[in-house]
Structures are given as structure tokens and as C-alpha cells.
Amino acid sequence: MNTTETTAPGCPSEAVFTDGTVPCTLPRGHEEPHAYGDRLVLFDDEAEPTLERVLTIIHNVDEWLDSDVSPGYQEQPLAQDWARVTKAGEEVGEAIDALIGFTGQNPRKGTYGSLDDLLGELADVAVTGMFAIQHFTKSADQTASVIMKALEKAAKRAAEAGYGD
């Protein structure tokens, strides 16, 4: 995650998440903390990735995407639905570009990017899908259930093929 190295202006030097105290930093290029409801966004690349933390982030980002969308979208719920789903497709395109660059598939462009770039883009695909699910469910528990069902479906197929339990 790209974050600044120092505490941002207007951002408390420490804030408490349910999993402990974490520094408050901002995405590169942002001068003020992003507020989601009454909360500031807190980034900590070293925090333990608990399910509770993941679901809190998904909920907070969903609230932000719904509330800070342009006025034209606020009055068009179907357009917001389409935007959330097509954003996942956009991220797939970025992952494909990262793979092309990492492998040097395009001789005109040569090799560019790294495995970390590719993995980051694939992670963007995954989280954008989770944000889209949350957009439709508006329930962290239901979002977790949908994701778990998809994981269990994949696990079942792997087990049937002789892999895993």
C-alpha cells in the first residue's frame, strides 16, 4: 500500500483500531485525511490481517464510495451498481497490463514492472470485487458469507481433484 512515511497534517499521531494502536498515514498525493463517517482512514502495513479488520475496511470503503460519488451518480443508483461491477473489470485490465510488462510479452514495450506490481494489481482485482459485493449486500457479515462460499466452492473442487482435505 502506498502511504506517506510521516504522520499527515490534521491526522492524530496515534489512533486505536480494535486490534491496537496504529499510525495514521495518507495515500500518496493526499494532503488531508480521508474521513469515512466519523472515522479517519488508518493505514498500517504491519497490522495483523484479522477478519474483523478486513470487514471493517470493506465497510468503510463502501460507505466512502457511496457518499463521495459525484452528484450525478448519487441520484442514479443503477449507475452506481454498474460502476462498482465495471470497476472490477477495469482492475482486471490493469492486472493484465502488469503481467504483459512483467513478462515482456509486448516486444514494442519491452519488459517493465515487477512481480510486486503484478501482485498489487491482482490484489486490487480481489478487493474491488469485495467492495462490489459489499455495495450490494450492505452487510459485512453477508459479504463475508458470500466470499466464504466462493472459497469453499473452490476448496471443494480442489478436494474432488485430490488436493487438500
pLDDT digits (tens, 9 = 90+) for 34-52: 443 444 445 666 778 888 8
Regarding whether 92 and 129 lie in a shared domain, the answer is yes
Please give the pLDDT value at position 73. Answer: 86
Please give the pLDDT value at position 91. Answer: 97
Regarding whether 28 and 59 lie in a shared domain, the answer is no
- Has residue 137 been placed in a domain? yes
Question: CA–CA separation, 90 vs 101, rounded Å?
Answer: 17
Domain count, the chain: 2
Please give the pLDDT value at position 74. Answer: 86
The predicted model gives 64-78 an average pLDDT of 89
C-alpha cell at 4: 506517506
Res 118 pLDDT > 80: yes
- Domain extent, residue 54, equals 49-160
Question: CA–CA separation, 107 vs 90, rounded Å?
Answer: 23
Confidence of residue 21 (pLDDT cuts 50, 70, 90): very low
Regarding whether 155 and 78 lie in a shared domain, the answer is yes
- Has residue 165 been placed in a domain? no
Regarding whether 114 and 44 lie in a shared domain, the answer is no
Confidence of residue 80 (pLDDT cuts 50, 70, 90): very high
Regarding whether 26 and 80 lie in a shared domain, the answer is no
Report yes or no: 36 and 60 within 8 Å, Cβ to Cβ: yes
